[in-house]
Amino acid sequence: MRALILGGTREARDLAKRLVEAGDDVVSSLAGRVKNPALPAGEVRIGGFGGPEGLAAWIKDNNIDILIDATHPFAEKISRSAATATATTGTPLVLLHRPAWEKQPGEKWIEVSSMDEAAAEASTFGTVLLTIGRQKLASFAPYAATHFVIRCVDEPEVALPPDHEIIYSRGPFTEEGEEQLQRESRVQALVTKNSGGGLTHAKLIAAKKLGIPVIIVQRPPLPALEDTSKRPVRVTHTADEAFDALATLRKSGKPSRG
């Protein structure tokens, strides 16, 4: 079986490792937004496809039997392209999207639906920790009265708020480290996306312990998907579930090669 895995998430890497160990031919595609990313097992390509048409052509030209969308939960564009391209080519699609975080007793969540809304909420606090990556920081640029502590992996390339400091760091993070950062920076609010997973969950635990409100951007909806005999669709939440779904599809004759 020749599989194309979209995404550089930990779940994507875990699945690639299992498939390669099982003898499958795996190509992992990374967006290329992070310098020196952790690389998965198997073949790796970096960069976009040129929209759903380009992805469909790549699937055909490279004899892909099945596509696994293991992208970040907020990578809306590539997920839509994957849904369209697999429908066009009749390629089975497995969604591997980690579960979202759920609010726990004692947590102070301010739930918003967009980064602009998160920025407006953040502007009501004096010091705010941003743990949203670097792509959407421009939403916070208009707010000069708030001091923003920005944590990201690579240098931002967008407009930044006037009063800010940058901490370059890559997860996973510990509860102790997160608590120390929030305490020493005198953080009054934390901004994050509801990415789910364990790599960055410690910041929520620390915020709860310190009584710090969390401004959390909820996930966009998944693209509309129709499970048909031509293009089977499976929705999974862990690498193990995705691996089992692939095994089931293989037994049923989809994908047809391999």
pLDDT digits (tens, 9 = 90+) for 105-152: 999 999 999 999 999 999 999 999 999 999 899 999 999 999 999 999
How many Cβ atoms are within 10 Å of 157's Cβ, its own excluded? 11
Closest by CA to 24, choosing from 241, 246, 252, is 246
- Domain co-membership, 136 together with 194: yes
Assigned domain for 104 exists? no
Closest by CA to 93, choosing from 20, 9, 3, is 3
Assigned domain for 232 exists? yes
Which band of pLDDT confidence, cut at 50, 70 and 90, is reported for residue 221? confident
Domain that holds residue 232: 2-99+223-252
- Domain co-membership, 137 together with 170: yes
Strands 25-30 and 43-46: parallel
Assigned domain for 241 exists? yes
The pLDDT, as a whole number, for residue 256 is 53
- Domain co-membership, 161 together with 91: no
Assigned domain for 257 exists? no
Which band of pLDDT confidence, cut at 50, 70 and 90, is reported for residue 169? very high
Ranges 44-48, 161-165, 183-187, 253-257: which has the least confidence: 253-257
- Domain co-membership, 34 together with 122: no
pLDDT at 33 over 80: no
Contact between residue 206 and residue 175 where contact means Cβ atoms under 8 Å apart: yes
Q: How far apart are CA 46 and CA 218, in angstroms?
A: 28
- Domain co-membership, 147 together with 64: no
State how many domains the chain has. 2
**Helix/strand/coil percent split, the chain, to 5:** 30, 20, 45
- Domain co-membership, 80 together with 136: no
- Domain co-membership, 148 together with 202: yes
pLDDT digits (tens, 9 = 90+) for 59-92: 999 999 999 999 999 999 999 999 999 999 999 9
Assigned domain for 239 exists? yes
CATH classification of the domain holding 169: 3.40.50
Assigned domain for 202 exists? yes
CATH classification of the domain holding 50: 3.40.50.720
Mean pLDDT to the nearest integer, 210-233: 89
Sign of CA dihedral 58, 60, 64, 66: positive
Closest by CA to 133, choosing from 6, 34, 31, 30, is 34
- Domain co-membership, 44 together with 116: no
Of 7-11, 28-32, 134-138, 180-184, give the range with the top mean pLDDT: 180-184
